[in-house]
Amino acid sequence: MTGTATTCELNLGKMDLSLSCLRIIRPIQLERMQESLNKFGQLNPVIVRRQEDIFQIIDGFKRFWCAEKLGWKHLRAMILDISITQGKAMMLNYNRVSRSLFDYDEALVVHSLSREHMLDQVKISSLTGYSRSWVCRRLGMIERLSESVQQHLRMGVISNTHARAIVRLPRGNQDIITRIIIDNNISSRDSQVLIDKFLACSTTKEQEYVITHPMEVIELALDGNDIHDSRLSRHGNRLLKSTELLLTQQNIFAGHLTHYQTGKLKSTELDILGGRLERLEKSTGRILSLLQKNKSIR
């Protein structure tokens, strides 16, 4: 960074949002920021870089959008005299401690430095202060993920943890596995299991089975004798295994229950399932009661 940083009140109309394309802002984040601004006012300045009479926002996009919605005319801003590449590097560094950037946000910034400014991995590493292997992994998220998967990630349909698992797949298989994850509401943890099984397939027929029976594949993978921790006693391992199996079944049940086909069940089916769901509700209450009574092991 060159020059001296100055802080002043800036008119919102003089702020440039062009770098906002390198950030994914979720609605819940905007709601929390607006609530904070309403209650406490602006706690931290927006960070901007000077471009003649316009000031390009580096950090503070949520503050800007929420201030605009609240009808504010000005925000307190810290003005820096830095280059565009330094500005993009600072987008990463300002959020390093708080970890407010997701992996994909970081990947967008790194990919921008590579594509738009023609910087290689060594130069990006030197500029940002991150290791070359970190830079390589972030570039991989953009270069190896299909555009469809990236779109789901930008929209918040899948999480960054999902994306870390999906990126291990060949591009040609990513969209169908992603669709399975979305349609069955599969957790990021179980997605890892599903993708491990898919990658372990040696034939197309085996892959087709994973695609057509994803929940069964996950259940069978976790319902084995390999759930064991040598640090635990025999009873401790039994409790560990039953806990893992219960969590697995819970994820499978949640995926089936929230599937869109549940709303299309016929009245006869609802009659059959209704009693069992009532039993499940009572059983869930019992499990919750047991957990509350055994807080000592948590």
- Tens of pLDDT, residue by residue over 35-44, are 999 999 999 9
Contact criterion met (CB below 8 Å) for 190 and 254: no
Give CA separation, 242 vs 15, 201, 247, in Å.
56, 28, 9
The CATH number, out of the four listed (3.90.79.10, 3.90.1530.10, 1.10.10.10, 3.40.50.850), of the domain defined by the range 1-82: 3.90.1530.10
- Whether the per-residue pLDDT at 131 is higher than 80: the answer is yes
The pLDDT assigned to 226 comes to: 55
Classify residue 258 by burial, with Cβ atoms within 10 Å: 0-12, 13-18, 19+.
exposed
* C-alpha closest to that of 121 among 131, 94, 107: 131
pLDDT of res. 223: 63
pLDDT for the residue 93 = 86
Of 32-46, 138-152, 239-253, 275-289, which gets the smallest average pLDDT?
Answer: 239-253
Q: What pLDDT is recorded for position 294?
A: 80
Q: Where are the domains of the chain?
A: 1-82, 265-298
Structure-block tokens of residue 89: 């590097």
Scanning the structure block, which residue is given the tokens 């016929």?
266
Q: Which residues in 206-245 are b (16+ Cβ under 10 Å) and which e? A: ebebbbeebbebbbebbeeeebeeeeeeeeeeeeebeeee
User: Helix, strand or coil for residue 98?
Assistant: coil
pLDDT of residue 241: 79
Share of the chain above pLDDT 70, in %: 94
- What is the chain's alpha carbon radius of gyration, rounded to the nearest angstrom? 25
Instruction: Give the Cα separation of 33 and 37 in Å (integer).
Output: 6
pLDDT at 227 over 70: no
The Cα 140–Cα 159 span in angstroms is: 17
Q: Looking at 46-50, 109-113, 219-223, 266-270, which range is the least confident one?
A: 219-223
* pLDDT for the residue 285: 83
Q: Over pLDDT 90: what percentage of the chain?
A: 56
- pLDDT tens-digit map of 135-190: 999 998 899 999 999 999 888 899 888 998 999 999 999 999 999 999 999 998 89
Say what the pLDDT of residue 58 is. 95
Is the Cβ–Cβ distance between 66 and 81 less than 8 Å? no
**Span 194-201, average pLDDT:** 93
How high does pLDDT run on average in the chain? 88
Amino acid at 65: W
Phi, psi angles (nearest 5°) of residue 269: -65, -40
Q: Which residue has the higher pLDDT, 199 or 288?
A: 199
pLDDT (0 to 100) of residue 3: 52
124 contacts: CB under 8 Å, gap ≥ 6 = 110, 113, 114, 130, 135
Read off the pLDDT of residues 56-85 as tens digits, 9 standing for 90 and up: 999 999 999 999 999 999 999 999 999 999
Q: How confident is the model over 231-241, as pLDDT tens digits?
A: 778 788 788 87
pTM above 0.95, yes or no: no
pLDDT at 225: 46
Reported as a pLDDT band with limits 50, 70 and 90, residue 34 is very high
User: Per-residue pLDDT tens for 80-92?
Assistant: 999 999 999 999 9
Region 194-204 average pLDDT: 93
What's the average model confidence in pLDDT over 95-99? Answer: 68
Q: Quick one: pLDDT band at residue 1, thresholds 50, 70, 90?
A: very low
